[in-house]
Amino acid sequence: MPTSMRTNATNFAKAGLLGLTALSFAMPTAAMAQRDPAYAAARANGAIGEKMDGYLGVVGNQDASIRKLVADLNIKRRANYTQRAQSQNATIEEYAFTQGCVLINRTQPGEKYQAPGGNWQTRGAGAPQRDPRCP
Amino acid sequence: MNSPKLTACFRFAKTCSRQGGLHTRPRGAVRWPVLMAIPLGLGGCIQVNAPDEAIVIELNINIRQEVIYQLAADVRDNIDENPDIF
């Protein structure tokens, strides 16, 4: 095989590979994007926690970047709850509350969540304290 | 061959009489059906005067709890479909 042809072939292969990688990046971000690293870190170190009402809360005094992160995510959550509640013939509060129940249930050990009394708790190895109305 | 039919009839009869009892109970406010019902021998049912408000509150609580349980499945799907915001 001449050198020029070989480089052409490798270039073509490279382009194909690039295209595939681009596709595989583009598809999951549209369908199943994962948590933003800053959000994941704030959850892990207990700066933010899951509230009973289905929204995120800032635990104690945190800097402005954390507060903005929480506010932005809560706006997205509210839009999501509004849409899903409508399709389920429920109120936004009912949907958000149920979501909160499940989100608190799914917190990882070390993460913060709001107990029925309203105070922040750190999730341990056992089940979290939840509202008696939770499913 | 006749006996299954008979039992079926009995079940229907039971359900009907139960439903009739429920319908006649909160009827305190409406007088016309009361007058019509007396000749039919349902006078005893009409004497029960349940307060309407209490019934309404109880229903609201039941519906709320039921809604939360019905939403549980959709809420779990929601987390899987939108992992970036949860």
B6-55, pLDDT tens digit by residue? 444 444 444 444 444 444 455 545 566 555 555 555 555 666 676 666 55
> Cβ separation of A34 and B82 shorter than 8 Å?
no
Interface test with A, best of B77, B79, B86 (most A CBs within 10 A): B86
Whether pLDDT at A129 is above 90: yes
The upper half-sphere exposure of residue B16, i.e. CA atoms within 13 Å in the direction of its Cβ, equals: 6
Beta bridge partners of A58: A48
Closest Cβ–Cβ partner in A32, A73, A97 for B68: A97
Beta bridge partners of A56: A50
Closest residue in B to A93 (Cα–Cα) = B68
Contact B33, B27 (CB under 8 A): yes
**CA-based nearest distance A43→chain B, Å:** 11
pLDDT of residue B72: 95
Q: What percent of chain A has pLDDT over 70?
A: 76
pLDDT of residue A43: 96
CA–CA dist B17, A120 (Å, integer): 53
Cβ within 8 Å of B, A 44-63? none
Interface test with A, best of B65, B71, B77, B79 (most A CBs within 10 A): B71
Average pLDDT over every residue of A57-80: 97
> Cβ separation of B72 and A33 shorter than 8 Å?
no
**A73-115 pLDDT, tens per residue?**
999 999 999 999 999 999 999 999 999 999 999 999 999 999 9
**A7-58 pLDDT, tens per residue?**
455 555 454 444 444 444 444 444 457 999 999 999 999 999 999 999 999 9
Contact A59, A47 (CB under 8 A): yes
- Residue B29 CB contacts under 8 Å (≥ 6 apart), including other chains: B52
3-state DSSP call for residue B86?
Answer: coil
CA–CA dist A96, A100 (Å, integer): 6
Q: How many CB atoms lie within 10 A of CB A75?
A: 12
- Residue B38 CB contacts under 8 Å (≥ 6 apart), including other chains: B46
CA–CA dist A17, A23 (Å, integer): 10
